[in-house]
Amino acid sequence: MREDLDRLSESMQRYWENLAEEANEEIFPEVRSVLEALREKGIELGVLSSRTVTTSKKSLEKHSIRDYFRYVISPQTARAPKSKKSPEMWQFALRQIGARAEEVLHVDDDYETGIVGATEAGIRAVLIDRSGKSTSTFDCIVIGNLAEVLELV
């Protein structure tokens, strides 16, 4: 029975990882240099994702950036039914990293999930808007690329 569940789990994981969104994902050119600069500043990094921990870690490994992240948090580990829209996800993340909300900076490219969730948890949020289409109605800091986050830390 356990072996059947393990095989099913592995099969489902392969399915999700091979979706076009996962298989063709790329990172932006400035990511590695920004991660290195943040490491040099002694800033601990984590990933808070709607993906499973396994999928997030595999993605980080695929791009050779796993070593930059101390924490990888998913809705499953946080028991957060609405992912980043769940207060439970943010509370879990804060407990995991041992920090208060005002000590954390969350960077996301999705306003409705990541930015709103972080803001509601009292975490300072930064929206990456690579297209430059954001409006002044956002209640967060807006940057055009990840390198700009270095000016905020």
Give the ranges where the chain is alpha helix by DSSP (H).
2-17, 20-23, 31-40, 53-62, 75-78, 87-97, 116-120
pLDDT at 25: 78
**Would residue 34 count as lying in a domain?**
yes
pLDDT at 135: 65
80 phi, psi to nearest 5 deg: -115, 100
pLDDT at 149: 96
Q: What integer best gives the mean pLDDT of the chain?
A: 88
**Would residue 48 count as lying in a domain?**
yes
**Would residue 17 count as lying in a domain?**
no
Residue 66 structural domain? 28-151
Residue 24: pLDDT band by 50, 70, 90 thresholds? low
> Cα angle vertex 62, ends 17, 91, to 5°?
75
How many angstroms separate the Cα of 44 from the Cα of each of 47, 65, 68, 109? 11, 14, 8, 20
**Would residue 22 count as lying in a domain?**
no
pLDDT in tens, 98-142: 999 999 999 999 998 899 999 999 999 999 999 887 766 678 899
**Would residue 101 count as lying in a domain?**
yes
The pTM assigned to this predicted structure is 0.81
CATH of the domain at 119: 3.40.50.1000
Domains: count for the chain: 1
Token pair listed for 138: 């956002």
**Would residue 99 count as lying in a domain?**
yes
User: Residues with Cβ < 8 Å from 82, sequence gap 6 or more?
Assistant: 75, 89
pLDDT in tens, 30-49: 999 999 999 999 999 999 99
**Would residue 147 count as lying in a domain?**
yes
